[in-house]
Amino acid sequence: MKKKILITGSSGLIGSEVAKFFDAKNWDVHGLDNNQREVFFGTNGSTLWNLKHLQQTLKSFTHHELDIRHREAIIKLVNDLKPDAIVHTAAQPSHDLAAKIPFDDFDTNAVGTFNLLEATRQCSCNIPFVFLSTNKVYGDAPNYLNLIENETRWDYQDPQYFNGINEKFQIDQCKHSLFGASKLAADISVQEYGQYFNMPTVCLRGGCLTGPSHSGVELHGFLSYIIKCNLEHIKYTIFGYKGKQVRDNIHSYDVSNFIYQFISNPKSGQVYNIGGGKDNSCSILEVITIIQNITHIKMNFEYNETNRIGDHICYYTDLTKIKNDYTNWDITISLEETINQIIEAWQQRIKK
């Protein structure tokens, strides 16, 4: 019999990529999504186009229109399906928006995750459970490291952070944003179910997860949104830090590949930072230059001195632990190739 996987947020960036990846591995894919992203971000955030693409192209895909906040329905679905693995990517993903909708944010990110964890435990403690957490669980603590200002970017001054932020970095006594706090509550819960019940769970604390399936909007999806602005001549606003704030970017394929590696060889209550690493990091100023060089379209942008609350000045991922534990995994798609793919994807959408 084919193995079954349940993916929450299956019409989103990572969820859809995971669906395609496991479909190619001949798994029976079950996607759970209710297009809540459109509720959060408006029509530009809708993922219905991606759902339609999955339904038309995957060999074995079943869509479940369900909200992860509906506890009884989630428990019933997991028990009925009895999946061989669960990948939880559904979330309210914006730290700016969270402050405007705090109940929706916490109920989606924290309570929704808890619903899925308990549904999984009631079904079987042997089901690998992969949770897409976030680097925002570290709050703004990275901003208080010693930083150096270069011509186009900020960087870490202390040698111990040469490769970036690792999993031992502090999560306490800092400002997270309400989004970061709700995701941290979920993160700790996922760890606890792994440690307390010996369930094969993992938290993936992502940097900028991106790719051609991303529906980038101003409040979420930095790389996708800035490319959209360039192609459609939309004014882009840089918020603070002189535009030198740094992010590392990882293609959704590489995230999906790690998820497959983990499910193939799961561990209990694990945490991994996952991102593009130092080699795939860029500042806003740097990525504007890269995009302009590819599209030959001058970027229309303005600068706002007020930075976003809890925003990182410099963050890129130390991949040492994840590579040591899973030696078959590595970054395979460069920043430049990722940008090229996103540009091509937006150009196709604009034509339609």
Q: What is the pLDDT of residues 175-230, one digit of tens each?
A: 999 999 999 999 999 999 999 999 999 999 998 999 998 877 787 788 999 999 99
Please tell me the least confidently modeled range out of 25-29, 277-281, 310-314, 331-335.
310-314
d(CA 344, CA 280): 19
Averaged pLDDT for residues 43-65: 94
Sorted by sequence, the CB contacts under 8 Å of residue 235 that are 6+ apart come out as 229, 300, 301, 302
**What domain range is 59 assigned to?**
4-351
Q: Tell me, what's the pLDDT at 96?
A: 85
Please tell me the least confidently modeled range out of 116-130, 211-225, 308-322.
211-225
Averaged pLDDT for residues 74-91: 98
Which amino acid is residue 10, in one-letter code?
S
CATH number of the domain within which 55 lies: 3.40.50.720
Q: Tell me, what's the pLDDT at 257?
A: 98
Tell me the sheet residues that pair with 80: none
Please, what is the angle between helix 112-123 and helix 71-81, to 10°?
Answer: 40
**Hunting for tokens 């179910």 — which residue is that?**
193
| Other beta carbons less than 10 A from residue 135's beta carbon | 25
Q: Tell me, what's the pLDDT at 288?
A: 98
Q: Tell me, what's the pLDDT at 247?
A: 96
Q: Tell me, what's the pLDDT at 216?
A: 78
The H-assigned helical ranges of 169-315 are 177-197, 222-231, 252-264, 284-295
CA nearest 137: which of 200, 179, 196? 179
pLDDT at 297 over 80: yes
pLDDT at 154 over 90: yes
Contact 112, 69 (CB under 8 A): yes
Q: Tell me, what's the pLDDT at 165?
A: 98
Q: Tell me, what's the pLDDT at 44?
A: 83
Mean pLDDT of the chain, nearest integer: 96
CA nearest 225: which of 115, 111, 339? 339
Q: Tell me, what's the pLDDT at 220?
A: 75
What tokens does 122 get?
Answer: 């009631």
Local confidence band at 167 (pLDDT 50, 70, 90 cut-offs): very high
Domains in the chain, number: 1
pLDDT at 69 over 80: yes
Q: Tell me, what's the pLDDT at 188?
A: 98
Please tell me the least confidently modeled range out of 38-42, 202-206, 307-311.
307-311
Q: Tell me, what's the pLDDT at 75?
A: 98
d(CA 105, CA 84): 28
pLDDT at 352 over 80: no
pLDDT at 143 over 90: yes
Local confidence band at 308 (pLDDT 50, 70, 90 cut-offs): confident
Q: Tell me, what's the pLDDT at 164?
A: 98
What tokens does 80 get?
Answer: 């009925």
